[in-house]
Structure 1
Amino acid sequence: MIEITSNQQDNVLAFTAHGRVTGEDYESVLIPAIEAKLKEKPKIRLLYNFGSDFSGFEAKALWDDAKVGLQHPTAWEKIAVVSDNKWVVGATK
């Protein structure tokens, strides 16, 4: 599950992942929020927090993540990933 968490600034999107993240989570929560924010701002900052209960991604979610990044290659001013999960930390270095 992905939930939108509080946005501190108008160019920041903050999300928290819980449990197993699915393609449906990306298609119904994350991607629409990114698309809406990009209509307002040409560059955005993304804060992606992995909750302590995060257990992984479905393959479709990983594919959707790659697609949204490739569809908007210049949209990201900064991206922050917060996790204590070892494989997430290793994958984002």
Structure 2
Amino acid sequence: MLEHMNYLPPHVLGMHAVGKVTNIDYKKALLPLLDNQVKQNGRINFILVLETKIQNFTAGAWCGNIELGLKYFLKWHKLAIVTDEKGLKEFSHLFKYILPGKYKGYPLDELGEAVKWIAEK
């Protein structure tokens, strides 16, 4: 499940992944928020907190992840991935080679630092 982190500044979109994550989560929970982020700010500052195992992402969720990355390809400004899952950490490091903008990865115990970095203008 993807939960909106609605306590972040308006120029930052944050999602918290827990339990099983599906393509429906991407379409219903994330897509409308990304659309709004682009309309409001013209670019995307995104933090994703992953507190679930890689096995909990369905194949459709991985496809949804790639689809959204491409849909907003030129809109990514800053992306922070926060996780202790080694497999997810390694996969998420690919973003810095694929997407434009700045990317940083953080362990869960540095969530505060990740929020501080992603919120900097």
Using structure 1 for the length normalisation, give the TM-score: 0.90
Which residue number corresponds to residue 73 of structure 1? 73
Gaps of 5+ in 2: 94-121
C-alpha distance 29-12 of structure 1, shift in aligned 2 (>3 A): same
Identify, as 1 or 2, the structure richer in helix.
2
CA distance in structure 2 between the partners assigned to 1:2 and 1:67 by the alignment: 16
Measured in 1, the distance between the counterparts of 2:25 and 2:7 equals 19
Distance between the aligned counterparts of 1:87 and 1:7, measured in 2?
Answer: 28
The TM-score with structure 2 as length reference comes to 0.71
Of all paired residues, the percent bearing the same amino acid is 27
Q: Which runs of 5+ in 1 are unaligned?
A: none
2:109 counterpart residue number: none
Q: Deviation string for 1:46-65 (max 9, x for gaps)?
A: 000012xx132111111111
Map 1:1-93 onto structure 2 (within 5 A).
1-51=1-51, 54-55=52-53, 56-93=56-93
Q: Number of matched residues?
A: 91
Structure whose residues are more often strand by fraction = 1
Q: Larger relative contact order (C-alpha < 8 A, sep ≥ 6)?
A: 1
Q: CA RMSD for the aligned pairs? A: 1.1
